[in-house]
Amino acid sequence: MYNLDNIKAPAGKMLIGSSWVSAQSGETLAVENPANGDIFAQIASGSALEVDLAVKSARAAFESIEWSRMRPLDRSRLLEQVALKLEQHADELALLESYDNGKPKHLALMVDVPTAVEVFRYMAGWCTKIYGKTLPVSGDGSRYHAYTIRQPVGVIGAITPWNYPLPMAAWKVASAMAAGCTVVLKPSEITSLTTLRMAELMLDAGVPPGVLNVVTGKGETVGEALITHLDVNKIAFTGSTPVGKHILRTSANDLKRVSLELGGKSPTIIMPDANLEKAIPDAAMAIFFNSGQTCFAGSRLLCHDSVYDEVIAGIKEVAKNLPIGHGQAAETMIGPVVNKKQKDRIENYIRIGQEEGAEAISANSKIPEQGYFVAPTILSGVSPDSRVFNEEIFGPVLTATKFKTEDEAIALANQSCFGLGANLYCRDGQASHRMASAINAGTVWVNSYFVLDPAMPFGGFKQSGIGREVGEDGVLMFTESKSVCMSLES
Ligand code: NAP
Ligand code: MG
């Protein structure tokens, strides 16, 4: 069943320039399959030493004639080649992610790999469209010609999480490369394999050595060395809010540019006129997909009083029919969560929810004995003052709370320190627009959920982050704007 013969991850090596190197300390970290606890690979446990070498390699590539003078059209063609290469290896990448992260392979093939492929293809178009402006200078304007140019920020330190390793790495690398930057990428120590394989495929696609370097290892060593390195110009981070805050504080030392994609507690709001045939399965999948390990998961159901019972019963029914199992089985919809730490954390939150007075409805009791599985769970009757309403659980756990009016729904939606996404189910067009405007979140999906598109800037309000990835905003955040002012008189 677990056949790794087709998987080629550069075992125990990191990419610095064109070389695959082991950690100089010789240390490695075990890679565990969350479906059964098997150790099936090793990654290098890098240190500040390898980070420094990787930054030097990225700096040299940034300044090289080959990269810095590459015509935008040729950079565009290169990103297209990367997209093609990843697409050709889609099956292998999905399988590798399934082993490493636990997620169902067929869902990785449907979501993770295409998201990565498409951002390279989309960003290929931006290489040739990064414009400055001509500026109508006031005052003595007739004597000056002024314009802006957009230049690449420089060397990027990219740090990614374990829930969608390949898309998060691809979003950062594709956008940074489109802008002309070079990258040192540190994937989560829990799921580094698809990132390493992506880097290998990018070299095969013709990406010049040093444009992408990957240093694997622990957050507190490799991550810390990257965020404190004085020759890194910008950190692009996706991960937890506490680490994001630490990065922001650390960046004050040398005023590194920082963009942060952090946690969330996104609401799914069901209005009384919603089409429940759509809203119910969507609300279920908005939380249970990827075992709830999605930063913008619809983890708080806010449901109108008049349809609450029907919606809860419906979500329970959907969840009951989601097969739980290891990620290589074609029928699996719910894989394991990523490790024991997460499983314990999620189960603890279910207990806390019950202690706080919620009813825990477990939708599926057929849980495999081995591995880190958690059944989809609804916590019904959750009070807005409770911990489970306010804290990110990051597992297949939906809190459910009733409301009576539109204003109450908006107030509950906004009662959060986060503001990443919101799913709104409503047939009334005017109410939809009113609510989309009033909800404090980076993305509001109306009668839809989980639509990520490389053209749609993504990011958070409040403690869900700073900056927007992908889309025009996403490429421009890897540039600096320079004003040039030229006298027209000699
Ligand atoms: P995490 O603990 O913050 O880790 C994220 C990354 O930061 C990992 O690569 C981690 O390395 C690294 N890291 C840890 N400590 C560091 C330090 N001191 N300096 C620099 N880097 C450090 O988050 P996670 O547990 O992997 O991911 C789950 C969280 O990410 C959730 O809160 C989720 O909501 C959020 N998330 C947000 C988005 C978004 O787009 N907004 C997307 C996905 C996930 P190690 O793994 O090696 O420790
Ligand atoms: Mg793993």
Hey, whose CA ends up nearest to atom 12 of ligand 1?
219
The position carrying tokens 């499983």 is 343
pLDDT at 70: 98
What percentage of the chain reaches a pLDDT higher than 70? 97
Asked whether residue 424 carries a pLDDT value surpassing 60, the answer given is yes
Which of 171, 228, 229, 243 to probe ligand 1 with, by most ligand atoms within 8 A of CB?
A: 243
CB of 392 closer than 6 A to ligand 1? yes
pLDDT tens across 228-239, in order? 999 999 999 999
| Domain boundaries for CATH 3.40.605.10 within the chain | 14-262+464-483
| Domain boundaries for CATH 3.40.309.10 within the chain | 267-453
Half-sphere exposure of 298 (CA within 13 A, CB side): 34
Tell me the CATH class for 267-453. Answer: alpha beta
Q: Tell me if 387 sits within 8 A of 356, measured CB to CB.
A: yes
Asked whether residue 139 carries a pLDDT value surpassing 80, the answer given is no
- 3-state helix/strand/coil string of 212-273: EEECCCCHHHHHHHHHHCCCCCEEEEECCHHHHHHHHHHHCCCCCEEEEECCCCEEEEECCC
What percentage of the chain reaches a pLDDT higher than 90? 93
pLDDT tens across 345-376, in order? 999 999 999 999 999 998 766 889 999 999 99
Helix (H) or strand (E) holding 25: none
pLDDT at 249: 98
* Overall average pLDDT of the 119-148 stretch: 91
DSSP per position, 124-151: HHHTT-----EE---SSGGGEEEEEEEE
Dist CA 273 CA 395 (whole Å): 29
pLDDT at 60: 98
CB of 118 closer than 6 A to ligand 1? no
Is 261 known to be catalytic? yes
What is the CA(296)–ligand 1 centre distance, in A?
14
The position carrying tokens 């911990």 is 387
Report the sign of the C-alpha dihedral through residues 156, 160, 166, 168, in that order: negative
Q: What token pair was written down for 222?
A: 């490799």
DSSP per position, 262-329: ----EEEEE-TTS-HHHHHHHHHHHHHGGGG--TT-EEEEEEEGGGHHHHHHHHHHHHHTS-B--TTS
* Coil/strand/helix, residue 441: coil
* Overall average pLDDT of the 170-174 stretch: 98
| 348: nearest Cα among 299, 306, 394, 401 | 394
pTM: 0.97
Give the nearest ligand 1 atom to 164 CA: 43
Dist CA 127 CA 478 (whole Å): 12
| pLDDT category of residue 143 using cuts at 50, 70 and 90 | confident
CB of 465 closer than 6 A to ligand 1? yes
Level-2 CATH architecture, domain 14-262+464-483: 3-Layer(aba) Sandwich (3.40)
CB of 223 closer than 6 A to ligand 1? yes
pLDDT at 4: 61
pLDDT tens across 450-470, in order? 999 999 999 999 999 999 999
Which of 160, 216, 240 to probe ligand 1 with, by most ligand atoms within 8 A of CB?
A: 240
| 368: nearest Cα among 67, 89, 1, 123 | 1
DSSP per position, 348-405: HHHHHHHHTTPEEEE------SSS-----EEEES--TTSHHHHS---SSEEEEEEESS
Is 472 known to be catalytic? no
CB of 391 closer than 6 A to ligand 1? no
pLDDT at 8: 63
